């Protein structure tokens, strides 16, 4: 967000989703200081904020207290909540759910903002395709 931007529930994904991406880059560099249990932010605090302050009384999620619900904030608040609940490494999955287990969401990919299984299926599919040559790509340039 920009300097002096007020709190906004959608930043739970925009900012919270960055930490898993950084974590995976540092892991590839064999950073020994990385946690093997959680991302580099307070996952419980983010969940607590979203659950306590961003739920609209009749359903949906909101920007901040006093605002009305909308699809945009519902989507990104839920996605940020999912990222905060799931710590996924190649060999380890750790769940950190604030409140009742009914709060548990499916895992969201922090970069693509789709279900993790769907993201993995897409990557697997596109890895089977041939990379086009520059000559082939020129046909698509208008």
> CB of 40 within 8 A of CB of 16?
no
CA–CA separation, 109 and 20 (whole Å): 9
Instruction: State residue 1's pLDDT score.
Output: 59
Length of the chain: 142
- How do the residues of the chain divide into helix, strand and coil, expressed in percent and rounded to 5? 45, 10, 50
Model's pTM, two decimal places? 0.86
Instruction: State residue 142's pLDDT score.
Output: 58
**What phi and psi, each to the nearest 5 degrees, are found at residue 76?**
-75, -30
How many other CB atoms are found less than 10 A from the CB of residue 34?
17
DSSP-derived secondary structure for 25-93: HHHHTT-TTS-SSS-SS-HHHHHHHHHHHSB-TTSSB-SSTTSPP-HHHHHHHHHHHHHHHEEEETTEE
Whether the pLDDT of residue 88 is over 90: the answer is: no
CA–CA separation, 30 and 23 (whole Å): 10
pLDDT tens digits, one per residue of 12-40: 999 999 999 999 999 999 999 999 889 99
Give me the residue spans of the domains in the chain: 10-113
């Amino acid at each position: 967000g920009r300097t002096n931007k007020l709190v906004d529930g959608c930043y739970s994904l925009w900012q919270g989703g960055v930490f898993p991406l950084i974590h995976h880059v540092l892991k590839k560099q064999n950073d020994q200081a990385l946690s093997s249990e959680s991302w580099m932010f307070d996952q419980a605090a983010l969940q607590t904020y979203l659950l306590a302050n961003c739920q609209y009384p009749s359903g949906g999620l909101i920007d901040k207290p006093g605002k009305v619900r909308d699809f945009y904030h519902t989507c990104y608040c839920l996605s940020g909540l999912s990222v905060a609940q799931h710590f996924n490494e190649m060999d380890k999955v750790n769940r950190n759910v604030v409140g009742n287990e009914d709060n548990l969401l499916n895992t969201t990919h922090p970069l693509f903002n789709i279900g993790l299984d769907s993201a993995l299926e897409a990557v697997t599919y596109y890895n089977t395709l041939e990379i086009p040559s520059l000559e082939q790509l020129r046909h698509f340039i208008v």
